[in-house]
Amino acid sequence: MNVLIEWIYRLSRGAETVFRSDEMPAAQALVIAEDLERTGRTKTVTFIDRFDSTWTVKEMKGYLKGIETEPHNITVYFDGGFDLATNTSGLGCVIYYEQSGKSYRLRRNAPSAELTSNNEAEYAALYLGIQELDLLNVHHLPVQFIGDSQVVINQLTEEWPTLENVLSGWADRIEEKLKDLGIQPEYKLVQRKLNSEADRLATQALNGVSITATSEITGD
């Protein structure tokens, strides 16, 4: 989670003023806030996240301690495929995360006969990844979403307008779900070859191969 720090600085003669920092990772913000408190000139320190929620120093300490045993440092790869001949889609997502000092990879795919285009399949694949985050109990964290769909990435970052009603509906659904979970999304567009795992999962779903698996990533 990224936050900014707002603190009230008190002069020796009683005058006060308010400062706000740039946005930074919560752990870094806590270190700075504790240093500010040690000066003895800081009246109050508050953290503010991207949803304008406020946190005290005590609350932030509790939050950072809590996520040590919950999934964090999360990256989601997603890809969707559409077979025009059969009007079926395959959705794939790969989630990398850390938990309790270990690293994990979650792979998930799903078929669909309800979608109408490759672009819609790409949106649905991203939504599948977000649903998996919900099942992992991921909340109030920054998450990087990586895909090779220019349409999805550029529309969700508002680089391109979302003109089709179907795609606009998916974009709204995704943004609402992310807001409910308190997830701060960062979208990254990559070449297809750098999204091969999610692409393979989507293809396997189209071919009737269902995959749901979580494995620990080791240095071996």
52 with 142, same domain: the answer is no
pLDDT in tens, 163-180: 999 999 999 999 999 999
pLDDT band at 67 (very low <50, low <70, confident <90, very high): confident
**Same domain flag for 168 and 154:** yes
Domain's final residue, options 23, 41, 68: 68
In angstroms, the CA 144 to CA 141 distance is 10
Q: Is there a single domain that holds both residue 107 and residue 157?
A: yes
75: nearest Cα among 219, 194, 220, 200 = 194
61 and 76 share a domain?
no
Domain stops at, among 36, 68, 100: 68
Give percent of the chain above pLDDT 90.
73
pLDDT score recorded for residue 66? 76
Q: Compute the distance between CA of residue 135 and CA of residue 133 in angstroms, rounded to an integer.
A: 5
- State the Cα–Cα distance between residues 152 and 195, nearest whole angstrom: 14
User: Does one domain contain both 177 and 82?
Assistant: yes
Compute how many other C-beta atoms are within 10 angstroms of the C-beta atom of residue 26: 19
Mean pLDDT, the chain, rounded, equals 93
**Together in a domain, 26 and 131:** no
pLDDT tens track for 186-197: 999 999 999 999
Query: In this structure, which amino acid lies at residue 125?
Result: A
Residue 129, classed as helix, strand or coil, is helix
Residues 192 and 112 placed together within one structural domain of the fold = yes
Residues 86 and 179 in one domain: yes
Pair (77, 115) in one structural domain: yes
Q: What is the CATH number of the domain that holds 74?
A: 3.30.420.10
| 206 and 146 in a common domain | yes
Total of domains in the chain: 2
Which of helix, strand or coil describes residue 70?
Answer: coil
**What pLDDT is recorded for position 220?**
57
Give me the pLDDT at residue 79, please: 98
Claim to verify: residue 51 and residue 75 sit in the same structural domain: no
- Among 18, 45, 68, residue at a domain's last position: 68
Buried-exposed string 69-107: b where 16+ CB fall within 10 A, e elsewhere: eebbebebbbbbbbeeeeebbbbbbbbbbbbeeeebbbb
Chain segment 68-110, per-residue pLDDT in tens: 788 988 999 999 999 999 999 999 999 999 988 889 999 999 9
CA gap 220, 218 in Å, rounded: 5
CB 4 within 8 Å of CB 48: yes
What digits encode the pLDDT tens for the residues 114-167? Answer: 999 999 999 999 999 999 999 999 988 889 999 999 999 999 999 999 999 999
Q: Of the candidates 67, 51, 70, 23, which has an alpha carbon nearest to the alpha carbon of residue 182?
A: 51
User: Residues 41, 75: one domain?
Assistant: no
Boundaries of domain holding 159: 70-217
Is the pLDDT assigned to residue 10 strictly greater than 90?
Answer: no
